[in-house]
Each structure stands twice: as C-alpha cells, then as structure tokens.
Chain A
Amino acid sequence: MNHTLPTISLRWIPVWRRNFLVWRKLIGPALLGNFGEPLLYLLALGYGLGSFVGEVGGLSYSVFLAAGIVCGSAMNTATFEGLYSAYTRMAHQQTWGGMLATPLSVDDIVLGEMIWAGTKSLLSAAPILLVAALLGLVHGWAALWVLPVVLLAGVCFGALALVVTALAKSYDFFLYYFTLIVTPMFLFSGVFFPLDGMPMAVQWGAQVLPLTHAIAIVRPLMTGQPLPHLLPHLLVLLGYGAVAFYLAIGLLRRRLLA
C-alpha cells in the first residue's frame, strides 16, 4: 500500500458535481423515494406499533422513532452509494479510470465520493425531517442542527463503504458487509428501541457503532431533550470517518494504480 498522506484539495468538487448532475437527471423518482419511504415507516411503525408500545423514555413512540429513521436512512443511503453506485463507477463504467487520465487523483476521487455519499444522506434525511415536522413529531427549530450532523454521519458511512468497495471483487461481496455490519448496526443502535433495556454487554457493544453516536446527537436535537455529550459523539463520527478515508485512499491507490 502507498502510505503517503492523502492530498486534500478542492479538486474533489468536479467528482462530486459529476455525481450530482447524474442524480439531478433522475430527481423525480429519487425524491418520491426519499419522501415516500420514510413516510410509510413513520405511519406504519410510528402509529401502528406506537399504539401498542405507548411511551418510550418519556416520548411518544412516533417521536422516538422519527430521529431513528432519520439516522438509519442516512446510514443506508450513504452505504448504498459508497458500495453499489461507487463500485459501478469504478469497475463497470470506468468513470474513475476516465478521471485518472486527467489532473484528478485517487485522493480527489475518494474525497469527492465520500462527500457525495454524505450529500445523498442529507438528501434523504432532510425530507424525513420535514415530514416528521409536518406530523408534529419535531420539538423546535433546533432540529435544523440535525442536517450538518447527518452530513457528517453520511460522509463517515460513505467512507466506510468505500473501504469495502476497494476490497470488493464483485457486488456479491457487499452482502457480507450488510449482513455482518450494516444490518446489526441498524438493529442495535437505538433506531427502533432504546438501548437501556438491553443487557450491559449489548449496551457497551453498541457504543462501538457509529450509528449509535449519530442517533445520540440527532434524537435530542429533534425531541428537545438535553444533549450533554455532544463533543465525544462527534469525535467518534469524525474518527471513524478519518480512519476510513485514510484506509480507502490507501486501498484504492493500490487497486487503481496497480
């Protein structure tokens, strides 16, 4: 692996912009999916399941769930973008190969793809936030601070996905990542139920998962509860993002510049 430090410059912008222009072409179905799916989740689970569950930690279940859905959706969107879409651009369309014949470098591509994955998270989380607000599930304007947090979380999950993509020989490889990491994280980070009721081992285990920390910031922002440990949670997300960024660059330099 080539261990020189990543070069960071604004050259990630054309990489990001290329993806954005493609996304814009399919904006109709994209936005329908972004609004429609979370609405269904909130209605079916929030109200359906909520009528059995009642209150969770002093919140109505719909209010509790809304923050979880925002974060879960941010993770899934960025992960999907960093795996399937990025792999298509790398292996099938040779989009990155085309970029590497220009002044762009592997580092620029990784940074652009990561930030694009974060942008996709934002594009999926913002509609959920809006829907939740319209349904009266959001406490106040402080909830807008959710947006930058979702962007950061999306960049972090996008970078993690790019590490997996860098190692993948085909799309099938992604099933390992989903089954072993993404799905357990989706279930045990406090999206659907609070972790306090779980055995201590599970509670401690959940602290390793970046999604737990995203939810720990987003839920208080949306519900108006106090947010005592903002900095440590942010640092966990930043740490995961930075390490994954470094790894993805090393692995992709080795793969693309072989």
Chain B
Amino acid sequence: MTATVQALGLTKVYSGQTVVDGIELAVFPGECFGLLGPNGAGKTTTLRMLLGQTPPDAGSLTVLNHRIPEDARDMRARVGLVPQQDNLDPDFTVLENLRVYASYFGLSGPALQRRIDELLGFVQLEAKAQAGISTLSGGMKRRLTLARALINQPDLLILDEPTTGLDPQARQIIWQRLRSLLAQGRTLILTTHYMEEAERLCDRVAIMDHGRILACGSPHALIKQYIEPHVLEVYGPEVETWQEDVARQHARRTERVGETVFCYAEDEGALLDDLRRRPQLRFMHRPGNLEDVFLILTGRELRE
C-alpha cells in the first residue's frame, strides 16, 4: 500500500533552532493519524511542510504521490485544511465564505451549490447560511471551517487542533463528523492537546517533543508498552510519607505531581488493601491511558 504521506528525515530550522528534527512519518490511506506534543513541539510546522507552505531544510516528503514542495499546488487541490487559527473571511456570510473559498479551487456552478447545501447540512449550519461570521459562536466557526475544508472533496484532511477552545457539546459534534469522514474513506491527520480525543479518534498517534518523534503507534499499543495496567491517583494529608513507606513497595513506579501521587502497578491488590485502611487518603483507581504515556514521554514541566 502506498502511503498518503511519507516523510523521511524531515527537518525545519528557524534562525539556528531546529524545530522539526529529522522526523520519519508514514500515514496510510483511510487512517486517522494524530500528532501529539506540548506547545512548541513542532506540530504546526510539520503540517505546514506537508502542505507545501514552507520548504523543509532537509529530508524528503511525498503527499498523495506528489513531491513536496515542488508539486504542492496539485497536491493542495486534493487536500483540505482546518488551520489552528480560524481565518474565515469576516466580510462575507457563511454561504459566501464557502462560495468564495470554492472559487480558489476553481469550483463553481450548480454542482458546487449542491455540494454547499450538503456541507451546510453536514456541519448543521443550514439555518446560518446567511449569517455574518461575527455572529457565529466558536463552535459554529470551527464547523464552518471544517465545511470549508471539505469543499473540494479532499482525499486527505489536515486538522490543526480542531477542537481547542470548544465546549464539550461542540467537541462531540466535531468528533462525530470526523468519524463519519473516516467512514467515507478519507484520510485524516490531526493535532490535539486532548489525549482523550486522540485515544478515541486516532488509529495511530505520534508523540512529538522538541521536533522529534518520541513514540508512534496505536494508542492501545503505546499504553501497553509504556504504562502498567493499573494506575492509582492518591491525594490527602501526608500523602508524601505514604508514597515513601507504602507505595514504593507495591507499585513499579510512583510519581508526585503537586498534591497527587501517581502509582503505576502491575497488580493493584496490595495498594488497594492498604488504602482502604487509611480513610484520610482519597484515591482513584483507573486503567492506564494515553495521557500517562504522553506525560511519561514529554515530562511534567510546564512549557512556555
């Protein structure tokens, strides 16, 4: 199977700083691929290179069988983009935004009108067709941007933080729409800071930091590889002492973050028995998840 995106040694340097550092990527047709990483990891820069919006300083890149950046124009005719920052045209209504954007692809006529009606239905904005952009909520703007990205029936859809800043309902609608796009056989590449989103939607994820890919695989496989089956989050008075005296004996790894102790264990029995005898400590017992993987790989310090 030929990959939809194939990047080898992809590198970008900004004023002496290597922000994408020789990454290898392969995204296959019909899959949803997630690019995860802290602020400044190089996600957006990677996507801009894929789109031919900035030339790589090293490496080779093929998208939909087009060499990038040389052949980017033809590739972009078959790709849709939901950018990190909304760039809807504030001078136009919802409908005009779609029509004008379609004209950039050379699309017009009755077939386009049918497509627009269909897309407005798809993102549930039929009632807003004549509305100005400034009257839309954040969720509506994001849905319009999604509809706009689909105007050319793209084979590959690239979404840079599609749900950042949205409320839970708005996020659910986007998830549902993305899932139905996957069901139509389109290929999706998305970035997100929400691990739950990546775990739900993505067939495979790559975790990036400082321009490098630290791990790549299905969320399930990564969790299995990096995280013990049981995670206990414990907090309460003198939890530090408990961590030293008890947790270290029964958990393979423990870690304190703020007022919470995280215990990663193969077997939860002994820890649970002990905790039941200490009512002053409160705890939550859960399976390992992608967020645990993310934090193990990228550390817990704050990024600026």
Contacts and interface: CB of A to CB of B under 8 A. Distances in A.
29 contacts: A17-B103, A18-B89, A21-B92, A21-B100, A93-B89, A94-B87, A95-B87, A97-B83, A98-B83, A98-B88, A98-B89, A98-B104, A101-B51, A101-B53, A101-B76, A101-B81, A101-B83, A102-B76, A102-B77, A102-B101, A102-B104, A103-B105, A103-B106, A105-B73, A257-B53, A257-B54, A257-B55, A258-B14, A258-B54
A18 to B, nearest CB: 5
Contact of A99 (B14, B92, B104): B104
Contacts of B54: 257-258
A257 B54 CA distance: 5
Most interface-central of A18, A97, A98, A102 (chain B CB within 10 A): A102
B55 to A, nearest CB: 7
Given A21-B96, A257-B54, A258-B54, A103 B104 contact: yes
A231 interface: no
Of the four ranges (under 10, 10 to 19, 20 to 34, 35 or more), the interface on chain A belongs to 20 to 34
B74 interface: yes
B2 interface: no
A109 B239 CA distance: 61
B87 A93 contact: yes
Interface of A: 11, 14, 17-18, 21-22, 25, 93-95, 97-105, 257-258
A14 B73 contact: no
Nearest to B14: A258
A103 B87 contact: no
Contact of A98 (B14, B55, B101): B101
A99 B91 CA distance: 15
A25 B91 contact: yes
B91 A14 contact: no
Contacts of B91: 22, 25
B90 interface: yes
Contacts of B89: 18, 93, 95, 98
A94 B85 CA distance: 9
A14 B53 contact: no
Nearest 8 Cβ contacts at the A-B interface: A94-B87, A102-B104, A101-B81, A14-B103, A22-B91, A98-B87, A103-B77, A103-B73
A93 B104 contact: no
Most interface-central of A14, A95, A103, A257 (chain B CB within 10 A): A103
Contacts of A14: 100, 103-104, 106
A97 B101 CA distance: 12
Nearest to A14: B103
Contacts of B105: 102-103
Contacts of B100: 14, 17-18, 21
Contacts of A105: 73
A18 B103 contact: yes
Nearest to B105: A102
